[in-house]
Chains A and B, each alone.
Chain A
Amino acid sequence: MTMAESPAGSPRADNLRATPGQAAREGGRFAPGAGRDDDGFERRAVVFSAEDLRRAQVRIAHEIVERNHGAEGIVLVGLHERGPEIAQRLAAAIASFEDVEVPVGALDVAFYRDDIGMRPVQPLGPTEIPVDIGGKVVVLADDVLFTGRTIRAAMDALTELGRPRAIQLAVLVDRGHRELPIRADFVGKNLPTKIAEDVRVRLHEHDGTDDVVELWGPSGFSERGTGAPREEGGA
């Protein structure tokens, strides 16, 4: 098995959930506005400005309600880290137009990952789901969908807590390179990326900076592309 979510031995693993403290460490290095960081990564594109991100969130909130014919029976569950904040935002948006308070929870998937022992894994936050999810529609919320392994772990974790009627997935960015048969139901933006690139998400509640989503990549490779799925042992 390859180091599934660790792109080519790169120290950059921004959108991986299971690297404790990484966000904190990056907090110092990643200055929005600066175009280059200490690891030789440079900014390629701004995927979402704060305003665009807000619009995407509102659209996703509408889509969730539309798909489920209302907001009753929905539970929004965010995956650490940044997922809980996204779930809160979606719930606030739904409350603003639908007048329903959708319950919001947080889920940590560390103990359910399939790469335990392959690289450092630590819980990133408490699992707190305020309602019984049995018979409900659980909408998982996350920032970036990549290999799908985090989502697989999340479904395992969730089913230990109850039997939802359905599980749906909402993400801000789908960057491709799935390694499992998983897809998102609600997507802010489909973004073709290369494996070696990073999608960096900053949310003001979590990171203390303005909201922004950016695509970063190693300096010196400026051409863009979708990138073929990595081969076995490619790391």
Chain B
Amino acid sequence: MRDLLSIADLDRAQIEALLDGAEHMADVLGRDIPKVPALRGKTVVSLFYEDSTRTRLSFETAAKRLGADTMTFTLGTSSVKKGESLLDTARTIEAMGVDAMVVRHSAAGAPHRVAGWVDAAVVNAGDGRHEHPTQALLDAFTLRRHRGPGLDGARIAIVGDVRNSRVARSGIACWHRLGAQVTLVGPPTLMPERLDGWPVAVSHDLDDVLTELDVVYVLRVQQERLGQALLPSLREYYARYGVTTARSERMKPDALVMHPGPMIRGPEIATEVVDGGRSLIREQVANGVAVRMAVLWDLIGSGGRLV
């Protein structure tokens, strides 16, 4: 693997190899000294054109746990405000000598462009509505730890604003490749306009499918989208799609609840559910570091790029 830009570039065996690698990393993270010198001398820069706390910190923690040096570039403090283009910024940073660039951008495809310009390995940390591959991988890793090696036959519902969600796009591709059956749940206005060729089922009624699900994956309601008249009102949305305590009680006994964050406790997902026995939300965050370590190791450590 040279860059990690899209789940679409990976087959099942590659995904599983990354998840196996993440097991080794989780082992490292569980030690008293949760750090190894595997990437010492390497430099990983985060190039973030869009706000993010958890993803950036997760990548930087991952790099540091492997002994790499890290640098951070965020929009607020950069020369982008002075008019520098993405191309020039990427090349300038590369000239400082970096081995990997972790790129987040509001424009779909920006990490692909960067990957074409620089020799450093590029990791897509979220590009517009397109993809967020490491989120899908860490979710798969989290599920695998609870369900055993594959996701074969697991019924996963992605609930909410699928239309605007890069997490959903990467998730569908990743979990489908691992054998899961994915159902999209939400009002028609929050579904993608076209679903041709997507390996998914669609439901507009959470209660219809709730009792068959193994995993309920809740997406954040992007309130900034409300002005676009896609939702009648938050109240109505939550009444139909909120993961309430009552809905949690109707789920299969071993069904799991996940959320990519940032989450809005309350109507979107009840506090009792967030902190309850079904919730994998805290584990998702913890596993993010292990999975991103595995990705960085694969790209700039293991020798994969040399072959």
Contacts and interface: CB of A to CB of B under 8 A. Distances in A.
A116 B24 contact: no
Contact of B307 (A112, A120, A157, A160): A120
B293 to A, nearest CB: 10
A119 B36 contact: no
A111 B37 contact: yes
Nearest to A123: B24
A111 B303 contact: no
Contacts of A111: 28, 36-38, 66
Contacts of B36: 111-112, 157, 160
Contacts, number: 48
B50 interface: no
B31 A160 contact: yes
B303 A120 contact: yes
Interface string A102-146: 000000101110001111111100110000000000000000000
A67 to B, nearest CB: 29
A108 to B, nearest CB: 7
Interface residues of A, number: 18
B306 interface: yes
Given A112-B37, A156-B37, A117 B24 contact: no
A119 B39 CA distance: 14
A161 B31 contact: yes
A123 B303 contact: no
Q: Would you call the interface of chain B mostly helix, strand, loop, or mixed?
A: loop
Given A120-B307, A121-B302, A108 B31 contact: no
Interface in B1-34: 21, 23-24, 27-28, 31-33
B24 A119 contact: no
Contacts of B35: 160
B27 A117 contact: no
Contact of B302 (A120, A127, A161): A120
Contacts of A112: 36-38
B128 interface: no
B38 A116 contact: yes
Interface in B61-95: 66
Nearest to B305: A117
A122 B302 contact: yes
Given A111-B28, A111-B37, A160-B31, A120 B306 contact: yes
B93 to A, nearest CB: 21
B153 interface: no
6 contacts: A110-B38, A111-B36, A112-B38, A116-B39, A116-B303, A161-B32
Interface of A: 108, 110-112, 116-123, 126-127, 156-157, 160-161
Given A111-B28, A116-B38, 5 more contacts: A111-B66, A117-B301, A120-B304, A126-B27, A161-B33
Interface of B: 21, 23-24, 27-28, 31-33, 35-39, 66, 301-304, 306-307
The 8 closest A-B pairs by CB, nearest first: A120-B303, A111-B38, A111-B36, A123-B24, A160-B33, A119-B303, A121-B303, A122-B302
